[in-house]
Amino acid sequence: MKVYDDKHIKNVALVGASGSGKTTLADTMLFEAGLINRRGTIEAKSTTSDYHDIEKERGASVYATPLHTEWRNYKINLIDTPGLDDFVGEVLASLRVADTCIMLINGHKGVEVGTDLIWNYVDRYAKPVIFAINQLDHPSANFDLSYASIKEHYGNDAVLMQYPINLGDNFNSIIDLLKMKMYKFGPDGGKPEKLEIPRDEKEKAEKLHNELVEKAAENDEALMELYFEKGNLSEDELRQGIKIGMMKHELFPIFCLSGLKDMGSGRLMGFIDNVAPSAPEMKPQPTVDHSNLECDPAGPTVLFVFRTLFEPSLGKLTFFKVMSGELKTGMHLTNSQTGQNEHINQLFIMDGKNRNPIDKLVAGDIGATLKLKDTNTNDTLSVEGTEVRIKPIIFPEPRHSVAIFAENKNEDEKLTEALRKIQAEDPTVEVGYNTELKQQIIGCQGDLHLSVVEWTLKHVHGIDVRFESPRIAYRETIQKSGNSTYKHKKQSGGAGQFGEVTIKIEPYKEGMADPEGFNIRGVKEFDLKWGGKMVFYNCIVGGVIDQRYIPAVQKGILERMEEGPLTGSYVRDVRVILYDGKMHAVDSNDISFKIAGAQAFKEAFIQASPKLLEPIHELEILVPEELLGDVMTDLQTRRSIIMGIESKGKYQTIKARTPLAELDSYSTRLRSITQGRGSFRGEFSEFATVPGNLQEDLIKNYSKQELVNS
């Protein structure tokens, strides 16, 4: 394959809501360039990028798929991304290495919730953006509505580059405001006729052209002076101003097309070639040590891994962007995170499942290699002596968690290995054994995301699994003081066991005064690994308990706090005052006082008005305005406290505090209420008291389970 220099490589991510036509456009761009002989379709399950079995089965993208096309001596690396928010990890990884984003807008729906969700990530990276209003051949296409929705959501920085004529079934013409020409397409699309703008469109086109010129000129002082001097800008000057505005994330050109009928895709690719920035023109890459790495083909070789994939017939496939220097087959590179050396045996340009071997890649290019041993997503590889680590992609926390079990217990080890691979492929999947809940928990972005994991386990790894709602990590604490004396005595021939302790326990609050009425000999604070504290006061006088047994009492109490008396949950925020006891010269030992301390704590805890605490999550829920009431009603059934509502165009953001126990399957419910148009983010806030009636039920259920287990 031809090796392109860094100035002739453009990296583009195709993003947008589900159903906006990204996959179809990708195939059209490859076909238009002559890289494939026949355009695939979603219906025929024959597109280049949606090649995985699960994508064919679902008729929608699940993975971000790198492709490439060539147009007029430029190489365009495309990444076709999923449109559903459950697969946001694929989008984020693609945005990290793209230099321009094409945001596809469904021409008969306009800006959708999915568009806004993806825009938030695009905006965070401040990437150059091209809006492409697609599907203008659809019978219900409405360009004016789509254009208005872009302006409403993203402001006046969005500016028309083109507008269509003859929408719907008769769509065949585009007025180009940069070249001031009309492109007219035949029934099969492809290369258009380039015509003069019709007389009845001339005034409109001139007005819109002037708006484009003004927007382009305001991004550069020299261009602004030229504009004031001449009253216009040349085509090259316009391109320069548009490019500057795009790189500042202050100008978003709007194109129009039909990806299905191959109308407008060639013009879009030409614009990418001539105007969209290349990697060396973009800002340097930030590193973890707060320095920057320039995209310099003459610099040291540095790669950033943005995706990992396990292909059944190939093994581990690693996708990367060359951030600096040149990469050739046979090179040895060092993983800056692990320190391990990797040998680059093979290099590929990927087009879906097709691998195109290549000997060299230069700075700014995207490629893949096979069977790297110790390198995963977010790792940096560089030549020896170059100590650099590219700042990693920040993936979102899971929004939906379940306990996972292999149906066949003999496959537990196989399941663990399969989940490890799935997590390596998709960092938005989190897997781990929760020792507190005694369950293997898998966290993901929603029920659709989880269904893909289940499909992969069954069809790729041959493992049948079941999911259950995870247990809730409650906490136990007390509301008043309690006292207890416990004597542990055991005699079974020879040396026995004897230990007696008397303690008082109280609720602990940060900054509270020391207890009164005790002779305090020592204080020790324990920061509990599950949150909160246990503060231990040694108030033993007169040697009734030898000092060497005090740590055993502490250990017994701490171990008992790992399984509270109410529901077996962790105990927190308690202070313990050890002020009396007895010991035996022969039979006392550490184990005796450990047991005595644990049992005394349990008895005192029951007397101290114990209560359960539950985890509370803060939610941000984005919903269409007309469905606000339905979502609010559902939240109220989940014991939510509404903290506020903010308007965002045609959508509303609800801020609420909701118990984690009420969020089981919430992503599924929200999708049902909003017809897939709503989304939410949540994070842990604090522990709060469980209502009395619910606490009683939880304690009863725990007691019943304990009887069953015994």
What is the per-residue pLDDT for 710? Answer: 58
- The CATH topology of domain 6-197+249-281 is Rossmann fold (3.40.50)
Of 35-39, 74-78, 222-226, highest mean pLDDT = 74-78
The C-alpha atoms of residue 10 and residue 99 are separated, in whole angstroms, by 7
Residues 6 or more apart from 689 whose CB is under 8 A from it? 611, 612, 613, 614
* Nearest CA-CA partner of 659 in 631, 630, 689, 634: 689
Instruction: Report pLDDT digits (tens) over 391-445.
Output: 999 999 888 899 999 999 999 999 999 999 999 999 999 999 998 888 999 999 9
What is the per-residue pLDDT for 100? Answer: 98
The C-alpha atoms of residue 318 and residue 88 are separated, in whole angstroms, by 19
Which of the listed CATH numbers 3.30.70.870, 3.40.640.10, 3.40.50.300, 3.40.50.2300 matches domain 402-468? 3.30.70.870
Task: Report the percentage of the chain scoring pLDDT > 70.
Answer: 99
Instruction: Report pLDDT digits (tens) over 382-405.
Output: 998 888 999 999 999 888 899 999
The C-alpha atoms of residue 651 and residue 646 are separated, in whole angstroms, by 9
| Domain spans, the chain | 6-197+249-281, 294-382, 402-468, 476-608, 612-693
Q: What is the pTM of this model?
A: 0.85
For 171-198, letters b (16+ CB in 10 Å) and e give: bbbbbbbbbebbbebeeebeebeeeebe
Q: Is the pLDDT of residue 1 over 80?
A: no
What is the per-residue pLDDT for 405? Answer: 96
Does the structural domain 612-693 have CATH classification 3.40.50.2000? no
What is the per-residue pLDDT for 3? Answer: 78
Instruction: Report pLDDT digits (tens) over 506-516.
Output: 999 999 999 99
Identify the three-state secondary structure at position 157. helix
Give the DSSP per-residue string, 238-254.
Answer: HHHHHHHHHHTT--EEE
What is the per-residue pLDDT for 228? Answer: 85
User: How far out from the chain centre does Cα 119 lie?
Assistant: 14
| CATH number of the structural domain 294-382 | 2.40.30.10
The C-alpha atoms of residue 241 and residue 233 are separated, in whole angstroms, by 9
What is the rounded average pLDDT of the residues 270-287?
Answer: 95
* Radius of gyration in angstroms for the set of CA atoms belonging to the chain, rounded to a whole number: 32
Question: How many residues are listed for the chain in this entry?
Answer: 710
The C-alpha atoms of residue 23 and residue 14 are separated, in whole angstroms, by 8
Instruction: Report pLDDT digits (tens) over 166-224.
Output: 899 999 999 999 999 999 999 989 999 999 999 999 999 999 999 999 999 998 888 88
The C-alpha atoms of residue 647 and residue 661 are separated, in whole angstroms, by 28
| CATH number of the structural domain 476-608 | 3.30.230.10
Dihedral angle over CA of 9, 15, 21, 26, nearest 10 = 20
Contact between residue 9 and residue 71 where contact means Cβ atoms under 8 Å apart: no
What is the rounded average pLDDT of the residues 137-144?
Answer: 96
The C-alpha atoms of residue 273 and residue 265 are separated, in whole angstroms, by 12
Provide the residue type at 607 as one letter.
Answer: Q
Give me the chain's average pLDDT, please. 94
Q: Is the pLDDT of residue 225 over 70?
A: yes
User: How far out from the chain centre does Cα 662 lie?
Assistant: 23
* Nearest CA-CA partner of 427 in 447, 459, 398: 398
* Nearest CA-CA partner of 446 in 137, 215, 672: 672
Q: Do domains 402-468 and 612-693 have the same CATH topology?
A: yes
Output DSSP code: residue 359.
S
Instruction: Report pLDDT digits (tens) over 628-665.
Output: 999 999 999 999 999 999 998 778 999 999 999 999 88
What is the pLDDT confidence band of residue 675, given thresholds at 50, 70 and 90?
Answer: confident
User: How far out from the chain centre does Cα 318 lie?
Assistant: 19
What is the per-residue pLDDT for 224? Answer: 87
- Residue in this structure with the two tokens 């700014």, named with its chain if needed: 364
Output DSSP code: residue 660.
G
Instruction: Report pLDDT digits (tens) over 475-500.
Output: 999 999 999 999 999 987 677 899 99
Instruction: Report pLDDT digits (tens) over 89-125.
Output: 999 999 999 999 999 999 999 998 889 889 989 999 9
